Structure 1
């Protein structure tokens, strides 16, 4: 198997893997650039000498300053939590594309308000702007994975949703390095810290422009009865004619899936909530939420938002040194994300990468915590890294190497694909809200955790990663290469560890429930064709 070889659920024309589907995914992923940039730049901006001087951080006690910094960071996550829930309503009534337009506009408004902050006005504009920007990115974090997933051929769905994660890492890379750049090249004035805030407008503006080019999700259009428009866009994205067998089969799968859920659940804004009475649906919602709990429990957002604090705990001193170390962290994440989306996510799979990431990451966290416990570098700064400190930094980057191609983007991929058409928007809203809820918890309490727990913070994250291994092994099936319309069947198969293999055999060999559905779809298509010919003959 080569680097870019694909595992298909059925014979697929090469035209399907065309530039348009990748371009739509890339444009939508400017939303994740907004998210990634914020998660990276805010922590180091709060550490800029010009920022701390402008807002007189020196006048605060350590506990009061930790609370202030936590509030500046966490109001963004609080806004994102509600934005991800609002997105369910906008996606139902407006669709995926127009929802992105709305939330992008809200983000740009919030980013603009932040620029009004000053020593005279205080931090109020930053706090208010971050709430609005949070609502914008929360809604976008709901919409983009769904949108990309619904456009994607099954064989490259993980790769395309992975572009969303790549956008997150590119934004983060810029965010990690920008404060190193302004700190080394600009005088410590108001302009120095304003620039990182202003850069937020760039990915937001690119998304705003790009939304005018991308197309609406054909699956959403089919669900609203707009079949002609849906067929036109589907053929445009696939670069195939409406009469092509692949298009005929895909439309049949979508329509039969919609018919089934209209029969079992029904259409309407509130109907998917009624589907939550089904324990099988409840279980998938719980799985989605737990994936993000364990993702945040790895410690990633503690590092993203408070990287200067993290590196200081390892004995790294000096503003520029801390910024440089943080920037290298961003480089490692971005490079490994490219490897993940090109190869690992669709070939190695979701489950196996989560296993490897949790096991390796936990080991690294145990080592780092043990080093801090023994050496206590934060209280005994020497100005020079010891051999133990160098080893701790190495294990920190090794942790990054384990985490990035596993827990960083995989929960988004799984949540974007494991729900059916009628509960997909609600399921993604739940998953996004869970992400931002746990993100808020980490960002709100990390400064206090470092003050009180010290090395225990790393042991805490290491323990959660061990628990996640058990969770994945027993409860999460492998979703790679499975068509969206077959996800219900996937979650019915026991034991979970064999579900993907069993279903792929059913799809490929023409037996079992999944194959029966496809066969019925083909028969239905032939019957319709026969009826049409009979009607013409009658005329």
Structure 2
């Protein structure tokens, strides 16, 4: 089925060039993705800190879930508030505020005297994690040239899994070297303060998103930012394109919550919510939070499980690196379908292995560890980066922060429920029952992507926005050969 070319596709932009602006773009991206690193570390550190914390604070299976899920509840509201606030005060100021929350939350958790104070500190950290999960991908997406937007915006997800791996390694080192120290888990939590301070200082020197500046009528400031991260010719051409569509779409998209009265806005918002919720219902974060517990249930002793838990973290980083390269080579929909098919298969295999190999079988822990590694690798290679990139690019500029905030709020809410009830579920129905449930949900996710999710690769944010508003985005387009895209720089 054919369709008319959008305005932005009809007038190609000047090609990308390499120069000082390229280095500047990379530096800005590196600083901003420290938010992703903190996201990963603060969600992953609980994996190893929970066991010694449980002994000192006297946690039960339920309060274990409360400590873990309190961050996720904070993250849900942090995503919603952070996205909306970033539309008002800007992406840069919002990330600076997020860095302050990361520092405050880390200190509160390290010096907590009791369970209640720990939960409060985790909620503050959650507000920062949720805000970072929304604002950093949007900031990178709005700053990146469309040719490398997937690779640049996807770096945030790579930094998330690097942060989770760092947490697993730090947990294993500290937990082994200082295992006899009372409050060893406090050392694990304290490490997060270091990148938080680096994020705060670094963002002081980072420019604002040019697209947000244009949405505020600050066209000259936007040109200055674009000229710092593009060649002069490309910067002016992009500015003209963004300004043109911003003026055109201003009559179609109301700012804030009023935009939700438009049917086409609701439709793309439901796509975003479906992607965010589908990502969480794979159970990936249950593995990242409770991986040590799952491996202990599989048959490893506690110390061995702490070290073996590094394996999923390593494969997550390897998968993230591969996934980042796929953003420039494979269409988003194809990547998502492959990801959900592979993760769903892994769910059923883990459940089946747990049934076939009873507790006490010497092969059981190693087989389940291998399948968990395959699951995490499939998730990070094909799903996580693609989903976060799509969430950062499918929404209109005037409500981008709000819309991704609503989507991620729904995802974090599901994540919080999983974090709260996962230990109880494993205790009640075992590994097999839990992963069979994840598998059946995965079948529904495959159907959703196949029927509802549009393609966005290789198009400017303005072209995507124009086609979202007209409905043309949902028309199946011929696959664009990878050769038509400039190589990632």
TM-score by length of 2: 0.91
| Contact 1:359/1:469 (<8 A) preserved | yes
Q: In the alignment, does 2:16 pair up with 1:13?
A: yes
Question: What stretches of structure 1 of length at least 5 have no aligned partner?
Answer: 1-7, 58-64, 509-539
Deviation of 1:124 after TM superposition, in Å, equals: 2.4
Match for residue 345 of structure 1 among 319, 324, 327: 327
Match for residue 86 of structure 1 among 69, 73, 81: 81
Residue 468 of structure 1: aligned partner: 445
Residue 274 of structure 2: aligned partner: 290
Distance 1:485 1:308 in 2: 44
SS of 1:188 mapped into structure 2: coil
| Contact 1:313/1:372 (<8 A) preserved | no
Distance 1:148 1:496 in 2: 25
| Contact 1:113/1:129 (<8 A) preserved | yes
Deviation of 1:326 after TM superposition, in Å, equals: 0.8
Match for residue 172 of structure 2 among 180, 195, 200: 180
Residue 304 of structure 1: aligned partner: 288
SS of 2:327 mapped into structure 1: helix
| Contact 1:103/1:140 (<8 A) preserved | yes
SS of 1:214 mapped into structure 2: coil
| Contact 1:493/1:499 (<8 A) preserved | no
| Contact 2:271/2:453 (<8 A) preserved | yes
Question: What stretches of structure 2 of length at least 5 have no aligned partner?
Answer: 1-10
> Would the alpha carbon gap of residues 10 and 224 (structure 1) be closer, same or farther in structure 2, given more than 3 Å must change?
closer
| Contact 1:115/1:198 (<8 A) preserved | yes
CA deviation digits over 1:283-334, x for unaligned, max 9?
Answer: 111111111111111110111111122112322x222210111111101101
Deviation of 1:497 after TM superposition, in Å, equals: 7.0
Structure-to-structure mapping, 1:239-250, within 5 angstroms: 240-241=231-232, 244=233, 246-250=234-238
> Would the alpha carbon gap of residues 212 and 287 (structure 1) be closer, same or farther in structure 2, given more than 3 Å must change?
same
TM-score by length of 1: 0.83
Higher Rg = 1
Distance 2:275 2:331 in 1: 15
Distance 2:392 2:471 in 1: 20
Distance 1:116 1:356 in 2: 44
SS of 1:346 mapped into structure 2: coil
Distance 2:401 2:248 in 1: 17
> Would the alpha carbon gap of residues 339 and 364 (structure 1) be closer, same or farther in structure 2, given more than 3 Å must change?
same
Higher relative CO (Cα under 8 Å, sequence separation at least 6) belongs to 2
Structure-to-structure mapping, 1:463-502, within 5 angstroms: 463-491=440-468, 492=470, 496=474, 498-499=476-477, 501=479
> Would the alpha carbon gap of residues 193 and 143 (structure 1) be closer, same or farther in structure 2, given more than 3 Å must change?
same
Q: CA RMSD in A?
A: 2.4
> How many residue pairs align between the two structures?
472
| Contact 1:66/1:448 (<8 A) preserved | yes
Deviation of 1:395 after TM superposition, in Å, equals: 2.1
Distance 2:237 2:58 in 1: 64
Match for residue 416 of structure 1 among 392, 398, 420: 392
| Contact 1:292/1:438 (<8 A) preserved | no
Deviation of 1:92 after TM superposition, in Å, equals: 2.8
Residue 3 of structure 1: aligned partner: none
